[in-house]
């Protein structure tokens, strides 16, 4: 396995010159585009690492399936899905168009920004700090990393330039979908996106999803089986945004990408995979990261289809 992972990373190095880091969040544009790392955590606890696997980056949208689980724990499934839908959009992750053209103004799914912001507004807590601390605690449990924290500079950068996310949040507030104060919900969303992780952390979270909620190291239950099934389904249909169809054909795994360059992929009953490389394609997915996953999927016959 170690040799195959190293081969996948070497293969993906050929694509490092393509694309560029996200720049609409100024702090992310500073990333070193030569970075490339990958981690595999098998459901039996075996781990394999390659390249810059310990380099930290902000989790960004990879946080969305995790926040969804917490939101589902806090509310009934009926409540959550009466306000956020279950359908892919075919639009960019931060698109506003369907909110106005769809009849209900309900965000189409929890993996796009509008849906994820709504999902955050359902998370329980007396104060904004309590809500974020509950979320962070859950991320720490899933990643088995008690030291996870958020990156202040990226958080500030997102907050200062988050005009489009503010527009989305205000739109769903106006439509009666968002709960609570718009600015407080955005603070929670931006902090959540700014949580710092490395490939190893997201591979461990993916391994928990792969084993339907059990820890790969202790076998203890960390998350309800039903919720892991739900989020894996969203990852297949919407996890790579408007590239989800092509990714399903080429890689065939539930996966979630983030604009800092991370991708978390899960191979049911077998392993979690975390990859990182900052250069993105036009849809906001890490180019070299997808190449690592393509290589692994082909070489190890990982596709679920």
Chain residues that interact with ligand GLN, rule: CB under 6 A: 60-61, 93-94, 113, 158, 165, 193, 258-259, 284
Catalytic residue, candidates 80, 154, 259, 292:
259
At 203 the three-state DSSP class reads helix
Cβ 150 to ligand GLN shortest distance, Å:
12
Nearer Cβ to ligand GLN (85/284): 284
Nearer Cβ to ligand GLN (150/295): 150
Centre a 10 Å sphere on the Cβ of residue 87 and count the other Cβ atoms it contains: 11
Cβ 103 to ligand GLN shortest distance, Å:
25
**Quick one: which of 1, 3, 16, 6 has its CA closest to 38?**
6
Catalytic residue, candidates 150, 227, 241, 295:
241
Per the CB < 8 A criterion, the answer to whether 208 and 266 are in contact is: no
Q: Which residue has the tokens 């209900």?
A: 104
Q: Which two tokens mark 294? A: 């393509």
* CA–CA separation, 271 and 266 (whole Å): 6
How many CA atoms are closer than 13 Å to the CA of 134, on its beta-carbon side? 18
Catalytic residue, candidates 48, 150, 155, 189:
189
106 is catalytic: no
Per the CB < 8 A criterion, the answer to whether 34 and 82 are in contact is: no
Cα separation of the two ends of the chain: 22
11 is catalytic: no
Nearer Cβ to ligand GLN (165/279): 165
Cβ 60 to ligand GLN shortest distance, Å:
3
196 is catalytic: no
Q: Which residue has the tokens 């409540």?
A: 79
Nearer Cβ to ligand GLN (49/57): 57
Catalytic residue, candidates 9, 41, 50, 64:
64
Nearer Cβ to ligand GLN (259/264): 259
Cβ 14 to ligand GLN shortest distance, Å:
25
At 222 the three-state DSSP class reads coil
* CA–CA separation, 140 and 121 (whole Å): 20
Catalytic residue, candidates 41, 48, 50, 61:
61
CA distances to 22, 31, 88, 149, 256 from 280, in Å: 7, 11, 21, 24, 14
191 is catalytic: no
61 is catalytic: yes
Cβ 193 to ligand GLN shortest distance, Å:
4
Which amino acids are annotated catalytic?
A: 61, 64, 189, 241, 259
């Amino acid at each position: 396995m170690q040799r195959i992972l190293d081969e996948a990373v070497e293969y993906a190095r050929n694509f490092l010159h393509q694309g560029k880091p996200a720049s609409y969040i100024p702090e992310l544009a500073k990333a070193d585009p030569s970075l490339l790392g990958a981690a595999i955590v098998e459901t039996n606890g075996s781990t394999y690492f390659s390249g810059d696997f310990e380099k930290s980056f902000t989790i960004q949208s990879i946080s969305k399936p995790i926040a969804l689980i917490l939101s589902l724990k806090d509310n009934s499934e009926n409540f959550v899905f009466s306000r956020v839908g279950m359908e892919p959009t075919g639009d960019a992750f931060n698109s506003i168009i369907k909110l106005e053209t769809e009849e209900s103004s309900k965000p189409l799914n929890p993996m796009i920004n509008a849906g994820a912001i709504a999902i955050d507004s359902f998370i329980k807590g007396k104060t904004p700090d309590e809500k974020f601390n509950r979320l962070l605690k859950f991320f720490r449990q899933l990643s088995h990393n008690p030291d996870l924290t958020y990156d202040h500079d990226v958080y500030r950068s997102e907050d200062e330039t988050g005009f489009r996310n503010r527009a989305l949040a205000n739109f769903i507030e106006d439509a009666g979908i968002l709960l609570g104060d718009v600015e407080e919900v955005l603070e929670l969303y931006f902090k959540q996106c700014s949580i710092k992780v490395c490939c190893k952390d997201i591979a461990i979270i993916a391994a928990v999803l792969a084993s339907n909620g059990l820890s790969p190291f202790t076998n203890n239950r960390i998350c309800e089986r039903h919720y892991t099934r739900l989020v894996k389904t969203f990852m297949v249909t919407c996890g790579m945004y408007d590239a989800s169809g092509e990714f399903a054909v080429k890689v065939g795994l539930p996966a979630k990408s983030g604009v800092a360059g991370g991708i978390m992929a899960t191979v049911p009953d077998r392993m979690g995979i975390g990859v990182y490389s900052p250069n993105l394609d036009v849809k906001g997915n890490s180019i070299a990261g997808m190449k690592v996953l393509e290589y692994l999927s082909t070489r190890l016959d990982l596709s679920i289809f």
